[in-house]
A and B are shown apart, each in its own frame.
Chain A
Amino acid sequence: MKPLSYYRERYIRHQPSPFCPGCGNGIILNCFARAVDELGLDQDRILCVSGIGCSAWIPSPHFNSDTLHTTHGRALAFATGAKVFNSDLTVVVFTGDGDGAGIGGNHLIHAARRNIDITTILVNNLSYAMTGGQIAPTTLHGSRTITSPYGNPENPFDLCRLVAAAGATYVARWTAYHVIELTRSMEEAIENRGFSFIEVISPCPTRQRRIFGFRNPIYEVPSRIMEMLVESTYIPGREPKGHYCYTIPRAGVKEALEAVETELGRRDLGAGVRQVDHLRWGTVLRVDCAGPEELDSVKELLGEIPEVERVVGALEGKVELGVFVRERRPEFVESLREVMRRAGGV
């Protein structure tokens, strides 16, 4: 293990961090520096391109390589020009959900379609955070943001499926909690000769505090969001151990918790119940049981409690993480070279 100072000295430009406490951007920058180091890439040949928004500041001005900080949503189009003209460059685009999937959504699918050898790291904080926390194309249905004060009437994109369908040859999704997997994935993405896409679901205590309706003091919010990211995601083949389900309270969480505790106690069931945060279901009760038979009877019981609106299974509504696409298809710059050969220009 190399000390943190090694990465800082080598890869990070010295300057005060602009990121809010608890932001995922520092974690992502850290993972990226480690991935670059692990691959032994020549820093002088790395070009980091970014657009507008908090995510754009991950490489610019922090990462110590060439950086191109462009207009809102257009990073991939700028990166395409640079990569085509100098294919020796390792080109990495940092973008956000608003930048990359909103205003820049068209460039995202077309870059994927071309399968140009660019790695795109899309930091998904579920909102337009830099501008105050507006609805983004990733904001969940019903979420309250400053531009959806009565709940979001729109539905979010599943970005990985979108980009996979568009033709990307490496597609993965992680969260800022999954640093080992994310770092490894960044290495794979950079090594893939084609369009690679990694979505990183990331905490933004500053905006998500409002979006998730957290009333905690601000210093408690980052860890609460991190716990939520773990609670609401799963990696196929590495599903969380144990037998559990969630109950969605009908009105107040507190009332539901009391009712469930009372009922479980009355029936003398050993199941444990606690309040957790879930991306999809909001603040809910998680009920852990000793075994599958107990879980079945507990589920039945929970469904009869008036304070409980609904009982949902462990994986229902959870976000799938992992590497979804690993493919080989002709890469764009190579195809352009082929065009050049046919035209007699090489």
Chain B
Amino acid sequence: MDQEQRWIEAACQGDRDAFGHLVQAYQRPVYNLTYRMLGNAQEAEDAAQEVFMRVYRKLDTFDPDRKFSTWILSIASHYCIDRLRKRRLKWLSLEDERLPPVALTSHQPGPESNVIQSEREAQVQALLDTLSADYRAAVILHYWYDYSYEEIAETTGSTVSAIKSRLFRARRMLAQQLQAEAKTSTMALAY
């Protein structure tokens, strides 16, 4: 029995330290998914916390024959998709404390590379924000988690053919969006 399986069993028995180990192990994958889906750090933090609360409440329903990572990311993606669908325009107070996202630091030295990386990250997130919830989830799970079509289908509760179709359309939409942005910046430079 591996370490993760021991933590899961102990957490099911009420061992909160074991649950803490699970949170430690999966905080980055879950937070990254919620951040990429929801697009801002504050909501991502709230959503990630809620995901772990749902995991805590449903831990006794986890099927050990499934991969725990798939199960937890399934909860996260379903929650984020529901949240995106319910999202309404909110007024944000200027005094609200906003948690800054913490990215992996690049090994490249120098502020220029950090600026380039930040701009690239902003571009990636802006592209993701143009997609609907279902398409966004498929793209994130494919590129960030290297999931196969079957794994994405299992995580999102869909079929392989539906996932292939979503990824196909999402990539086409993103590529067209990227093309349009490139044309706009070329025209701006020309002037």
- Physical interaction between A and B: no
Q: Which residues of A contact B (CB under 8 A)?
A: none
